Amino acid sequence: MSSRIYAHAARRIRELRRSRRLALEEVADRAKIAPSYLGQIERMERKPSLLTLAMIASALQVEPSHILEGQDTTVDKMMTAVPRLTAILAGLSDQHKELAIQTIQFFLRRLRRLERARSI
């Protein structure tokens, strides 16, 4: 996950905890993690695993997606693109499908390089 998603998740966790008037220690205990670790997550000092996010979500009695709500994650973007790509490829010959796939792969490699360069 990108840093932006972690920052959003940290804010949402704190918002949800405070809106439920729960102490940090209480949520940490329910999630079976150390209170100091939950505090670090909320202050964006640590990046939790997906399992930890799921445990915190359970402690807050929400779905994990509720913590990530409002974030247009890469997975979400890919899942909305799949039907569109499938429809586009359906009308092509096998040769043109292969060419389209190779073209997409080329651009994805370029995008990944650009993203890595920006994060340095």
Q: Find the distance separating the first CA and the last CA of the chain, reported in whole Å.
A: 16
- Residue 92 DSSP class: S
Q: What is the pTM of this model?
A: 0.57
Position 116 scores a pLDDT of 77
33, 52 Cβ separation under 8 angstroms: yes
pLDDT in tens, the chain (120 residues): 578 888 899 999 999 999 889 999 999 999 999 999 999 999 999 999 999 999 999 999 988 888 887 544 455 555 567 778 888 888 899 999 999 989 988 988 888 888 777 765
Same structural domain, 58 and 82: no
Structural domain count, the chain: 2
- As a whole number of angstroms, the distance between CA 49 and CA 41 comes to 10
Stretch (H or E) spanning 72: none
pLDDT at 72: 43
> CATH no. for residue 37?
1.10.260.40
Q: 112: domain range?
A: 74-119
Same-domain check for residues 7 and 64? yes
Same domain, 57 and 36: yes
Same domain assignment for residues 10 and 44: yes
Cβ pair 5, 68 in contact under 8 A: yes
Q: What is the pLDDT of residue 86?
A: 84
Task: Choose one of 27, 42, 68: the last residue of a domain.
Answer: 68
